[in-house]
């Protein structure tokens, strides 16, 4: 009886024994990587807007405060896109002839709103609330990145659920004193710790203090133990109904 | 835990049968078959018009397309959206933060204050205004549904002229032309027909019309029919006054065919007042209710079963013709010697009169007799005499100067108007709201006569039966779009301020009259303001008008405007000589009532209200000829009885006989519905259906009972016959859906039971065994109580009871032997969540004694939680989506000891005796079990617990296995079998609450305890961490009791639902749960439900005849 399999099949089988799992694993890894890639999540993709508003210019160079335009950020679920009136506060005297600002003037003149394209989109079953994050000391930077360096805004974080949950599990990685929430250049090592009489060594140490409600930015007064449950525990923060209703 | 499963043991010791419908009572073969299926029969099966093969083909195609989608940027987790900011942001608005505005909702002339939630200018949800005397925070179901009318895509959108679209300017020009003619003649032949008007501004304008056109006439008509009440007052007192009842003062109440808790002026307030005396509280720390001794007693004599009758301690079903006799007999018994002579009465009614009269008399003035609005004037006059005799005047009945303008016989006025129209005397008719061509009695042929009038103008929200016959139709503005005012049941005025500019440029009655008065340049705001400026100048006088006006708008009530109290004087009995002699009614009697959900037909295009199960009948999307089992079985009728193949199984589809209902020479074809407890030889039919000219929702729904209604007998007609036809009709009835066969889910006892248990309950929880599961052993009952969240025994076990509470309850720590056997038996490994000791534990308690089954809670839930309308066809397949349902149980005495023997005759006999049937309601939202059976079977973790004990439903994880629904003993989970949520209609998108996900096909959903409200309260509290008072237990900023109110709780007129944190010793919900009448539904399954019930307590009079 002749051999059913050619001799070469031996080596083929050996290759497959190692190759198939490798192949499967790499498919999995690449799919996972693809899912998280900038391409799928839209990270670093500049969104076209009717008016090419530059945060770099207005925030980075002119130093206009975030809340000047995003007025709801401390009180509402949505930070709020400024009404045309806010633009016109300055632009009725500055750059009044600029072509780029024509849509703004048209909007103001005809009382028709400007339709902006949303940059940070979360699914409709997810309820993000700006006010509580800002209120607890999560900086704008943590989610929006270096917005003051963006001539045109793009999404700088994946906005995937794993990204949200990572912070809800360990908020200390992102907490900062309330006075620094809108600071784009904030570094934990710049914060002076009155109780150790030196600057904080890293974000985690600072974050853990802040989680307990301690406020190094208020000096020694703020370092008295306020409440060790200023931030809720990770079980509560990762309850489904915290974000999904 | 071992549970005896032999169904013959399921009847409780109290010797009663508790059923949802007659098929369950009769234990028919179909019913048994249905009970065998775990799912509603068709709900799980593929019966859609698309075949399975087509489906697979389609799915193949969509899978292929899914691949294409993968290469598309829209593969992203969230689709890209637009943001549209304001051009100039109004100061008061912060995008994302809702505002509440006080305004006024008026139905049939009587107003109720409401607070309307508005998000960025979009009205979203209506709540009651706690400052308004007609609401006190509660609402009825119409108020809840009214918001949908604003977004109704079938609303009239434009002015119409002779059937073609026109403009407001063209209408004004047309009206001016007409006016120039009318002015020369002093308004001869000008008639204005409106619904009942109490609005001070509108009344002022109508008076002005009268001045300019002295020969014009204003007629009011609405089909509610309170003529008997109006004329009755005239007979008794001969002055324009109106009674206002004070049920919170009454110890004894007799409702004489009156459903005052769910219909009529002040119903919401009356329901709350009545319930305040019927919530029996035993626990010494109770914050509401009354002790068993102070509980009021309610008698009801009625033909249809109503919410009032269901709440009553004694209910007597009686024919309408006998009700008048009953009143006369009662008057005679009370010593009104010169009253009218009663006619013959059935034996039971005769037996009622003596003890009833004695009980009313013994109350010493704290008794009241309330006649139904539709009863004749002589009954009303007689009831005033009875109340006078009882000494009720000034105590439980007060009189105020008439709130209505020109109170009188509206039916006669309409008849006179039609007579004029017939005689050609009407030159111009302006119909200000309402739909008289549909609602007027059929014999008047209002529509035909309308065509003969030279100039006709109609103002209405729909292009309806009347509009199509009028030359001009003006699209009416919704009440949230227009300025106005109105007066409540006690005369208190409130302002109606718009929340949104008229969406389709609708106009209100004020604007139409302003044109007639050549004031068209004055807007409705100015008109209302001018009217109230007069009030300010004459009454208030102090301070600035503008500040006063703003304060009134903000509060929603104009203080000090309640109608002036009037002295009634003595009741005259002069009318007695003209009172007709009563004889026994012949043939069947027909009672015409407005439908409990679509009213007079004005809500017929409102999907929320069409799909809302009607109180008592549990029908949706239909009306029916409602009769008692005995009448159904009687010789002339013979429908349904006794096989009950068709009373509606769990799937909600009831195949019923169609009968021909003949009244005089008019007849109508109608399906039959048998209602236990309904009076014999009477038929109740509901008006408001069978609309001809209506939008897509109401088209072809029900039959028009108005077709046989005549102006001689508009509310009760005698001599009807019923002829069975061979036709069958499918009704969508939810009464049998999700039955909990034989487990006595709704528990109740009497004041006597409570008093018997009272001395012992502090030491011995067994004292209140009527609230306990009837079939588990005593030892197990003890264990169940130790597991029931919020019960004293459970709080004790967790060590959460405060010393004060232990003092009041005499609960001693460690008194009970520790036995966690039941906890060990659970599939969850970690026992009760340890954090429940320290976290907030949201819980709910529902007082069954205070529930009137009005379903306002269901309507409120629909509005709050974006619950889709599925349509009649889907309801008949057990797919109704309501998150809270109101189960209705008929309780009948079990003469054979309650066992379900093969012999049906005793049970049949019980059902045939309407007088022995009592009705109980049980609202059933998700029970939010601490050990939720749904959670352990979900393969994808789409339903999980939160740390505060909510049973979270995560739509985005759900893959639609429906295992959770399968494993839910309460059957509170709802599955989106099809794409029910309306993504297509633009205007319907606006009514959705943006705080709640709009669910798609294939997703399970259920009551969330309004988690969106809980979380937004939490966010607010956490944001104010530094300044808020801290909770001692967990250091979290305190959320005060009452800060989170669920939608059902807010709407409930009687306050039967409370919600809050069980762990908060100050919360009302905890106090309710400490009551010994507190029980957990199916708690023996070890689910530890967070929602618990307080057993209903009735206050029967031992002197009353048996079986009543």
Contact residues on chain B for A154, CB-CB shorter than 8 A = none
- Determine the residue of chain A that is closest to B942 in CA distance: A240
Which among B84, B947, B952 has CB closest to A235? B947
Contact residues on chain A for B976, CB-CB shorter than 8 A = none
pLDDT exceeds cutoff 90 at A21: yes
Q: Taking a C-beta distance cutoff of 8 angstroms, is the pair B950, B841 a contact?
A: no
- Determine the residue of chain B that is closest to A116 in CA distance: B83
Contact residues on chain A for B934, CB-CB shorter than 8 A = none
Contact residues on chain A for B88, CB-CB shorter than 8 A = 83-85, 111
Contact B78 A117 (CB under 8 A): no
- Determine the residue of chain A that is closest to B72 in CA distance: A40
Q: What is the pLDDT of residue B500?
A: 93
A-B contacts at Cβ under 8 angstroms: 151
| Residue A229 dihedral angles phi and psi, to the nearest 5° | -125, 35
The Cα B124–Cα B133 span in angstroms is 23
Kindly report, residue by residue over A146-159, the tens digit of the pLDDT: 999 999 999 999 99
pLDDT exceeds cutoff 60 at B900: no
Q: What is the pLDDT of residue B35?
A: 63
**Which 8-state DSSP code applies to residue B23?**
H
First to last CA, chain A: 70
Contact residues on chain A for B81, CB-CB shorter than 8 A = 118, 121
Contact B1019 A129 (CB under 8 A): yes
Maximum alpha-carbon separation in chain B: 94
Kindly report, residue by residue over B70-101, the tens digit of the pLDDT: 444 456 777 888 999 999 999 888 999 999 99
pLDDT exceeds cutoff 50 at B732: yes
Contact B94 A241 (CB under 8 A): no
Sequence-distant (6+) residues with CB within 8 A of B977 are B43, B874, B879, B1001
Tokens standing for residue B339: 């009253």
Contact residues on chain A for B995, CB-CB shorter than 8 A = 127, 245
Helices and strands of chain A, counted as H and E runs: 13, 3
Q: H or E stretch including B958?
A: none
CA angle (B715, B721, B722) in 5-degree steps: 105
The C-alpha of A5 sits at a distance from chain B's nearest C-alpha, in angstroms, of: 38
- What average pLDDT does the structure give for chain B? 85
Q: Helical H runs in B540-678?
A: 545-555, 607-611, 629-633
For B318, B342, B385, the CA distances from B350, given in Å and listed in that order, are 11, 11, 20
pLDDT exceeds cutoff 70 at B11: no
CB atoms within 10 A of CB B504: 13
Q: What is the DSSP string of B292-326?
A: GGG--EEEEEESS--HHHHH-SEEEE--HHHHHHH
A164 pLDDT band, cuts 50/70/90, is very high
Which among B83, B87, B950 has CB closest to A108? B87
- Determine the residue of chain B that is closest to A86 in CA distance: B88
pLDDT exceeds cutoff 80 at B761: no
Which of A42, A241, A243, A244 is the best substitution to test chain B (most B C-beta atoms within 10 A)?
A: A241
Contact B80 A118 (CB under 8 A): yes
- Determine the residue of chain B that is closest to A39 in CA distance: B73
- Determine the residue of chain B that is closest to A103 in CA distance: B87
Nearest to A114 by CA among B86, B274, B13: B86
pLDDT exceeds cutoff 70 at B58: no
Contact A80 B998 (CB under 8 A): no
The C-alpha of B391 sits at a distance from chain A's nearest C-alpha, in angstroms, of: 55
Kindly report, residue by residue over B787-835, the tens digit of the pLDDT: 888 888 888 878 888 888 887 766 554 445 555 544 544 444 444 566 6
B860 pLDDT band, cuts 50/70/90, is very high
Which among B76, B88, B1008 has CB closest to A245? B1008
- Mean per-residue pLDDT, B611-620: 92
From its phi and psi, is residue A63 left (phi > 0), alpha (psi between -120 and 50) or beta?
left
- Determine the residue of chain B that is closest to A41 in CA distance: B76
Instruction: Decide: residue B17, CB within 10 A, 0-12 exposed, 13-18 middle, 19+ buried.
Output: buried
Contact A75 B97 (CB under 8 A): yes
Under DSSP, is residue B993 helix (H, G, I), strand (E, B) or coil?
A: coil
The C-alpha of A8 sits at a distance from chain B's nearest C-alpha, in angstroms, of: 37
B898 pLDDT band, cuts 50/70/90, is very low
The C-alpha of B503 sits at a distance from chain A's nearest C-alpha, in angstroms, of: 17
The Cα B1050–Cα A180 span in angstroms is 41
| Residue A206 dihedral angles phi and psi, to the nearest 5° | -65, -45
Kindly report, residue by residue over B18-53, the tens digit of the pLDDT: 777 777 777 666 666 666 655 544 445 555 555 555
Q: What is the pLDDT of residue B86?
A: 93
Q: What is the pLDDT of residue B521?
A: 84
Q: What is the pLDDT of residue B56?
A: 58
Which residue shows structure tokens 């050996």? Answer: A14
Q: Taking a C-beta distance cutoff of 8 angstroms, is the pair B568, B234 a contact?
A: no
Cis preceding linkage at B642, omega within 30: yes
Which among B78, B1035, B1036 has CB closest to A123? B78
Contact A239 B952 (CB under 8 A): yes
- Mean per-residue pLDDT, B334-361: 89
Kindly report, residue by residue over A77-111, the tens digit of the pLDDT: 999 999 999 999 999 998 988 899 999 999 999 99
Kindly report, residue by residue over A184-208, the tens digit of the pLDDT: 999 999 999 988 899 999 999 999 9
| Residue B747 dihedral angles phi and psi, to the nearest 5° | -105, 150
- pLDDT more than 90, % of chain B: 48
Contact B997 A244 (CB under 8 A): yes
- Mean per-residue pLDDT, B590-594: 92
| Residue A71 dihedral angles phi and psi, to the nearest 5° | -70, -25
The Cα B849–Cα B843 span in angstroms is 19
Q: Taking a C-beta distance cutoff of 8 angstroms, is the pair A200, A191 a contact?
A: yes
Q: Taking a C-beta distance cutoff of 8 angstroms, is the pair B114, B102 a contact?
A: yes
Q: What is the pLDDT of residue B931?
A: 86
B171 pLDDT band, cuts 50/70/90, is very high
Under DSSP, is residue A34 helix (H, G, I), strand (E, B) or coil?
A: helix
Model ipTM value: 0.92
Which among A81, A112, A135 has CB closest to B1023? A135
Kindly report, residue by residue over B457-495, the tens digit of the pLDDT: 999 999 999 999 999 999 999 999 999 999 999 999 999
Nearest to B1051 by CA among B271, B308, B127: B127
- Determine the residue of chain B that is closest to A228 in CA distance: B1035
Nearest to B664 by CA among B727, B710, B618, B621: B710
Which among A107, A136, A240 has CB closest to B946? A240
Q: What is the DSSP string of B474-500?
A: EEBPPTTTS-EEEE-TT--EEEE--SS
Q: What is the pLDDT of residue B48?
A: 54
Q: What is the pLDDT of residue B72?
A: 42
B651 pLDDT band, cuts 50/70/90, is low
Q: H or E stretch including B147?
A: helix B141-150
For B306, B456, B459, B878, the CA distances from B601, given in Å and listed in that order, are 20, 22, 16, 26
Tokens standing for residue A177: 């004193």
Using the Cα atoms of residue B12, residue B13, residue B18 and residue B22 in order, give the sign of their dihedral. Answer: positive
Contact A125 B948 (CB under 8 A): no
Contact residues on chain A for B1014, CB-CB shorter than 8 A = 241
Contact B96 A72 (CB under 8 A): yes
Contact residues on chain A for B1023, CB-CB shorter than 8 A = 131-132, 135
Contact A40 B1019 (CB under 8 A): no
Contact B839 A116 (CB under 8 A): no
Average the pLDDT over each of B57-61, B275-279, B588-592, B1100-1104 and give the range with the smallest value.
B57-61
Contact residues on chain A for B865, CB-CB shorter than 8 A = none
Q: What is the pLDDT of residue B338?
A: 83
Kindly report, residue by residue over B267-292, the tens digit of the pLDDT: 999 999 999 999 999 888 888 889 88
Contact B998 A124 (CB under 8 A): yes
The C-alpha of A101 sits at a distance from chain B's nearest C-alpha, in angstroms, of: 14
Contact A47 B955 (CB under 8 A): no
Q: Which residues of B315-329 are buried (b: 16+ CB within 10 A; e: fewer)?
A: bbbbbbbbbbbbbbb
Contact A127 B995 (CB under 8 A): yes
Kindly report, residue by residue over B189-201, the tens digit of the pLDDT: 899 999 999 999 9
Contact residues on chain B for A108, CB-CB shorter than 8 A = 87
Sequence-distant (6+) residues with CB within 8 A of B853 are B307, B310, B615, B616, B886, B888, B919, B921
Sequence-distant (6+) residues with CB within 8 A of A203 are A172, A173, A174, A188
E strands in B297-452: 297-302, 314-317, 367-371, 397-401, 428-432
Under DSSP, is residue B546 helix (H, G, I), strand (E, B) or coil?
A: helix
pLDDT exceeds cutoff 50 at B1078: yes
- Determine the residue of chain A that is closest to B945 in CA distance: A239
The Cα B334–Cα B390 span in angstroms is 8
B641 pLDDT band, cuts 50/70/90, is low
Q: Is the pTM of this model over 0.95?
A: no
- Mean per-residue pLDDT, B354-366: 91
Contact A41 B998 (CB under 8 A): no
Q: What is the pLDDT of residue B197?
A: 92
Sequence-distant (6+) residues with CB within 8 A of B458 are B431, B466, B467, B470, B472, B473, B474
- Mean per-residue pLDDT, B905-910: 72
From its phi and psi, is residue B656 left (phi > 0), alpha (psi between -120 and 50) or beta?
beta
Using the Cα atoms of residue A24, residue A29, residue A35 and residue A40 in order, give the sign of their dihedral. Answer: negative
pLDDT exceeds cutoff 90 at A165: yes
Contact B1036 A232 (CB under 8 A): yes
pLDDT exceeds cutoff 50 at B12: no
Q: What is the pLDDT of residue B893?
A: 77
pLDDT exceeds cutoff 50 at B266: yes
Contact B83 A81 (CB under 8 A): yes
Q: What is the pLDDT of residue B896?
A: 52
pLDDT exceeds cutoff 90 at A67: yes
For B42, B189, B858, B971, the CA distances from B883, given in Å and listed in that order, are 20, 54, 8, 10
- Determine the residue of chain B that is closest to A69 in CA distance: B85
- Determine the residue of chain A that is closest to B946 in CA distance: A239
Q: Which residue has the higher pLDDT, A35 or B645?
A: A35
Which residue shows structure tokens 């009143």? Answer: B327
For A100, A198, B316, B349, B378, the CA distances from B584, given in Å and listed in that order, are 88, 100, 17, 14, 17
């Amino acid at each position: 009886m002749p051999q059913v399999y050619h001799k070469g099949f031996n080596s083929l089988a050996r290759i497959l024994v190692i190759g198939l799992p490798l192949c499967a694993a790499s498919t999995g890894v690449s799919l996972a990587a693809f899912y998280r890639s900038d391409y799928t999540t839209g990270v670093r993709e500049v969104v076209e807007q009717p008016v090419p508003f530059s945060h770099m210019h207005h925030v980075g160079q002119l130093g206009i405060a975030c809340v000047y335009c995003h007025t709801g950020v401390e009180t509402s679920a949505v930070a709020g896109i400024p009404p045309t009136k806010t633009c016109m506060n300055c632009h009725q005297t500055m750059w009044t002839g600029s072509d780029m600002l024509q849509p703004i003037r048209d909007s103001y003149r005809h009382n028709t709103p400007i339709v902006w394209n949303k940059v940070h989109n979360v699914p409709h079953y997810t309820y993000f609330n700006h006010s509580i994050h800002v209120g607890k000391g999560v900086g704008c930077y943590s989610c929006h990145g270096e917005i003051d360096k963006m001539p045109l805004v793009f999404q700088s974080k994946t906005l995937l659920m794993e990204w949200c949950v990572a912070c809800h599990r360990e908020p200390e990685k992102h907490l900062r004193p309330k006075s620094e929430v809108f600071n784009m250049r904030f570094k934990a090592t710049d914060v002076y710790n009155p109780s150790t009489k030196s600057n904080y060594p890293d974000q985690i140490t600072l974050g853990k203090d802040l989680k307990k409600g301690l406020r190094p930015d208020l000096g020694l007064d703020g370092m008295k133990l306020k409440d060790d449950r200023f931030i809720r525990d990770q079980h509560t923060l990762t309850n489904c109904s915290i974000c999904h209703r | 835990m071992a549970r005896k499963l032999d169904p013959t043991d399921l009847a409780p010791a109290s010797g009663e049968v508790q059923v949802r419908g007659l098929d369950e009572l009769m234990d028919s073969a179909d019913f048994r078959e249905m009970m065998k299926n775990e799912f509603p029969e068709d709900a799980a099966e593929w019966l859609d018009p698309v075949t399975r093969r087509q489906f697979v083909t389609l799915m193949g195609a969509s899978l292929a397309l899914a691949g294409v989608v993968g290469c598309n940027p829209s593969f992203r987790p969230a689709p890209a959206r637009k943001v549209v900011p304001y051009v100039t942001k109004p100061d008061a608005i912060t995008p994302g933060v809702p505002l509440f505005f006080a305004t006024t909702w008026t139905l049939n002339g009587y107003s109720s204050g409401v607070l309307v939630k508005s998000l960025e200018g979009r009205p979203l949800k209506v709540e009651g205004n706690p400052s308004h005397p007609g609401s006190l925070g509660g609402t009825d179901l119409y108020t809840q549904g009214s918001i949908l009318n604003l977004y109704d895509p079938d609303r009239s959108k434009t002015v119409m002229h002779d059937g073609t679209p026109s403009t407001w300017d063209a209408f004004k020009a047309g009206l001016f032309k007409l006016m120039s003619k009318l002015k020369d003649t002093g308004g001869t032949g000008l008639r204005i027909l409106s619904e009942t008007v109490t609005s001070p501004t509108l009344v002022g304008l109508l008076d002005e019309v009268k001045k300019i056109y002295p020969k014009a006439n204003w007629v009011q008509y609405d089909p509610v029919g309170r003529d008997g009440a109006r004329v009755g007052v005239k007979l008794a007192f001969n002055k324009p006054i109106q009674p206002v009842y004070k049920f919170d003062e009454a110890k004894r109440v007799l409702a004489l065919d009156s459903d005052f808790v769910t219909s009529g002026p002040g119903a919401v307030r009356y329901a709350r007042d009545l319930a305040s005396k019927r919530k029996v509280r035993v626990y010494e720390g109770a914050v509401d209710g009354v002790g068993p001794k102070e509980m009021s007693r309610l008698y009801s004599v009625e033909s249809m079963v109503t919410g009032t009758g269901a709440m009553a301690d004694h209910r007597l079903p009686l024919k309408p013709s006998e009700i008048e006799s009953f009143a006369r007999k009662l008057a005679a018994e009370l010593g009104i010697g010169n009253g009218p002579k009663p006619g013959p009465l059935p034996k039971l009614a005769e037996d009622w009169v003596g003890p009833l009269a004695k009980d009313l008399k013994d109350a010493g003035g704290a008794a009241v007799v309330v006649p139904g609005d539709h009863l004749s004037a002589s009954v009303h006059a007689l009831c005033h005499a009875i109340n006078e005799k009882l000494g009720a005047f000034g105590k439980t009945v007060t009189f105020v100067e008439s709130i209505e303008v020109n109170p009188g016989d509206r039916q006669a006025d309409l008849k006179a108007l039609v007579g004029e129209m017939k005689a050609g005397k009407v030159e111009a008719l302006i119909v200000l709201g309402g739909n008289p061509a549909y609602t007027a009695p059929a014999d008047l042929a209002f529509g035909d006569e309308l065509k003969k009038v030279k100039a006709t103008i109609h103002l209405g929200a729909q292009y309806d039966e009347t509009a199509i016959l009028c030359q001009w139709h003006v699209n009416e503005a919704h009440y949230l779009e227009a300025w106005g005012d109105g007066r409540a049941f006690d005369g208190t005025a409130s302002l109606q301020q718009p929340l949104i500019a008229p969406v389709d440029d609708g106009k209100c009655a004020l604007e139409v009259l302003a044109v007639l008065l050549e004031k068209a340049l004055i807007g409705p705001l100015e008109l209302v303001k001018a009217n109230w400026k007069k009030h300010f100048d004459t009454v208030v006088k102090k301070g600035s008008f503008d500040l006063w006006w703003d304060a009134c708008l903000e509060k929603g009530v104009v203080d000090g405007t309640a109608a002036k109290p009037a002295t009634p004087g003595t009741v005259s009995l002069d009318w007695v000589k003209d009172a007709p002699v009563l004889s026994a009614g012949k043939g069947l009697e027909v009672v015409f009532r407005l439908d409990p959900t679509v009213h007079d037909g004005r809500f017929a295009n409102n999907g929320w209200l069409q799909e809302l199960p009607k109180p008592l009948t549990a029908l949706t999307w239909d009306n029916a000829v409602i009769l008692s089992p005995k009448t159904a079985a009687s010789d002339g009728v013979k429908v349904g009885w006794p096989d009950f193949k068709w009373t509606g199984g769990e799937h909600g589809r009831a195949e019923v006989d169609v009968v021909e209902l003949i009244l005089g020479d008019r007849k109508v074809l109608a399906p039959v519905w048998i209602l236990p407890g309904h009076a014999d030889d009477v038929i109740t039919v509901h008006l408001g259906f069978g609309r001809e000219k209506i939008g897509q929702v109401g088209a072809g729904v029900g039959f028009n009972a108005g077709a046989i209604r005549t102006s001689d007998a508009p509310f009760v007609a005698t001599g009807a016959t019923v002829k069975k036809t061979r036709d069958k009709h499918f009704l969508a009835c939810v009464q049998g859906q999700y039955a909990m066969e034989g487990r006595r889910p709704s528990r109740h006892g009497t004041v006597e039971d409570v008093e018997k248990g009272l001395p012992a309950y502090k030491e011995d929880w067994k004292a209140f065994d009527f609230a306990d599961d009837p079939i588990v052993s005593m030892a197990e009952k003890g264990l169940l109580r130790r597991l029931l969240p919020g019960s004293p025994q459970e709080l004790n076990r967790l060590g959460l009871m405060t010393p004060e509470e232990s003092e009041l309850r005499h609960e001693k720590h460690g008194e009970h032997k520790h036995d966690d056997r039941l906890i060990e038996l659970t599939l969850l490994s970690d026992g009760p969540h340890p954090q429940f000791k320290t976290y907030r534990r949201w819980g709910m308690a529902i007082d069954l004694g205070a529930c009137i089954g009005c379903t306002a809670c269901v309507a409120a839930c629909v509005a709050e939680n974006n619950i889709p309308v599925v349509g009649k066809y889907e309801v008949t397949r057990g797919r109704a989506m309501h998150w809270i349902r109101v189960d209705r149980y008929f309780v009948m005495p079990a003469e054979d000891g309650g066992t379900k023997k093969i012999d049906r005759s005793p049970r049949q006999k019980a059902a045939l005796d309407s007088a022995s049937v009592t009705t109980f309601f049980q609202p059933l939202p998700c029970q939010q079990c601490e050990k939720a059976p749904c959670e352990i079977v979900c393969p994808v973790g789409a339903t999980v617990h939160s740390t505060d004990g909510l049973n979270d439903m995560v739509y985005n994880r759900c893959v639609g296995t429906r295992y959770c629904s399968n494993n839910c003993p309460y059957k509170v989970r709802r599955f989106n079998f099809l794409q029910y949520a309306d993504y297509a209609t633009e205007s319907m998108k606006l009514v959705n609450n943006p705080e709640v996900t709009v669910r798609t096909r294939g997703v399970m959903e259920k009551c969330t305890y309004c988690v969106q409200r809980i979380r937004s309260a939490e966010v607010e509290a956490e944001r104010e961490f530094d300044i808020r008072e801290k909770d001692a237990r967990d250091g979290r900023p305190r959320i005060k009791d009452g800060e989170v109110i669920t939608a059902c709780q807010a709407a409930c007129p009687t306050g039967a639902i409370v919600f809050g944190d069980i762990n908060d010793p100050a919360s009302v919900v905890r106090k309710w749960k400490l009551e010994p009448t507190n029980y957990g539904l199916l708690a023996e399954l070890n689910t530890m439900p967070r929602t618990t019930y307080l057993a209903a307590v009735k206050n029967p009079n031992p002197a009353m005849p048996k079986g009543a």
